[in-house]
Structure 1
Amino acid sequence: MKIEARIFELLTAFFFLAGIVYTICTAFSSRGVEWAGVTGMFFSGGLTLIAGTYFRFVARRVEIRPEDYEDAEVEDGAGELGFFSPGSWWPIAIAAGAAMFAIGFATGNFWFAIFSALVIMGTAAGLVFEYHVGPEKH
């Protein structure tokens, strides 16, 4: 996880530095500062900062992976990678909620978009907790 954290931290530095340079360069134009680009640059830096911080915290808690070694071989990472649900219908429901949200937002029907956002949150919770029900529920 240290590799991923380092990548996102470098991206954070790049976006913030590019945002500062972009702000300075557009400030001297005839129209003034171009706020959409400046906002996009700094928000991108903030999002990469969030991801990098998450990976840095997770890297402290998990054991060292083969990807973290300089001299690791491909076969060092062999074995089980995790559990993936073979027959879950929740991703389809999440996609349907996302499509409904896009339609509601694009058409200006904000009540429908809010309802669709609630559908997305509910179906995402269903996906996360799909296998966390007690044995009496099966």
Structure 2
Amino acid sequence: MKVTAKMFFFICLFLVVMVAVYWWTSHDPTGTAALVMATGLSGMIAYYLYFTSRRIGPGPDDRDDAEPHEGSGEQGFFSPTSYWPLVLCLSLATAFLGIAVGFWLVYFAAPFALFGVYGFVFEYYRGENKHY
């Protein structure tokens, strides 16, 4: 993970330089704002990966003598049958469409988006999959 954190840190540094160059050459506020946001996002990813690698120690991708099979195994838990991402994506797509078409559509989609977030977060705290 340290290699990946360093990669994102260098991307962040590169984007800092590119923000200055882009703003100096074009004076375009929209493109400059997009580059500033990309800089912030890469900086946040680098920060997360750096502190996570300090907490869990070196992984197989950080060692030169690592074998490919050391990186295999369980990568996490992924819900096999969850419809909440679909509900959330459709409601957010409708909200973003409302920004472009008419803002009244955002008011219509917001309750569905909140319902989708609620269902996505708490899907394993109800029914037969309830965790104690």
* Structure 1 counterpart of 2:106: 113
Say whether residues 1:64 and 2:58 are aligned partners.
yes
* Structure 2 counterpart of 1:2: 2
* Structure 2 counterpart of 1:128: 121
Runs of 4+ in 1 over 4 A off after TM superposition: 132-138
* Cα deviation code 1:73-124 (max 9, x no counterpart): 2111222222111111111111211221132122122x43145345334423
Q: Give the total of aligned pairs.
A: 131
TM-score between both structures, scaled by the size of structure 1: 0.76
Code of the residue aligned with 1:82 in structure 2: it is: G
Question: Counterparts of 2:71 and 2:40 in 1: how far apart (Å)?
Answer: 32
**1:50-89 correspondence to structure 2 within 5 Å:** 50-89=44-83
Q: For the structure 1 residues 120 and 65, does the alpha-carbon distance in structure 2 shift closer, same or farther, using more than 3 Å as the test?
A: farther
RMSD (CA atoms): 2.6
Q: For the structure 1 residues 120 and 2, does the alpha-carbon distance in structure 2 shift closer, same or farther, using more than 3 Å as the test?
A: farther
TM-score between both structures, scaled by the size of structure 2: 0.79
Deviation at 1:128, TM superposition (A): 3.0
Aligned partners of 2:2 and 2:58 also within 8 Å? no
